[in-house]
Structure 1
C-alpha cells in the first residue's frame, strides 16, 4: 500500500452517518491493502470554508486524485466498483 499519496479521498464530516455507510461500501468494493483511502473532514481542513461550500450538501463524496473525478452519494458497491474501474482506465 502506498502511504505517501492517497488514491481516493472521501469527503466527510463528523456525525455523517451516510459517510460511514459510504466508507463501508468502498471497503467492500476494493482491496484496501492495494487502494489507499483517506478521509477528509471538510470542517477540519485549513480551507474549510471552500470545502463546505463545495461539498457541504453533497456528502459523502469520493474523489479519485489521479483524475480529479468525483462520485457523489448515493452509490452502492456495484456502482462504486464500476466508477473505480472507469477512472483507473
Structure 2
C-alpha cells in the first residue's frame, strides 16, 4: 500500500486530516501539495484533502475520521 495525502498549503481541513491520520496511527504516507501542479489542481481542486492508495487506485475523500482511515487502510 502506498498512501498519499493530497493537500494544499495553509489548508485548515488538511491540518484536520493530518490529525485524523495520526489518531489512526497511519505509519507511513507521502504528503503531496497540489498548489503548483496544474494536473493535480485540475484533478483535486477543492476536494482536498484526499487520501489515496496509489497501489489499489482508490481514494478516501474528506471528511473522514480516524475510524474511516483505519478501515480504508485495512481494506
TM (norm. structure 2) is 0.90
- Pick the aligned partner of 2:14 from 19, 30, 35: 19
Q: Does 1:40 align with 2:40?
A: no
Whole-Å separation in 1 of the counterparts to 2:26 and 2:56: 19
Q: Which of the two has higher C-alpha Rg? A: 1
Structure with bigger helix share is 2
Let me know the Cα RMSD of the aligned residues: 1.4
Whole-Å separation in 1 of the counterparts to 2:60 and 2:16: 14
Q: Please, which runs of 5 or more residues in structure 1 have no aligned partner?
A: 1-5
Greater RCO, 1 or 2 (C-alpha within 8 Å, sep 6+): 2
Count of residue pairs the alignment pairs up: 75
TM (norm. structure 1) is 0.77
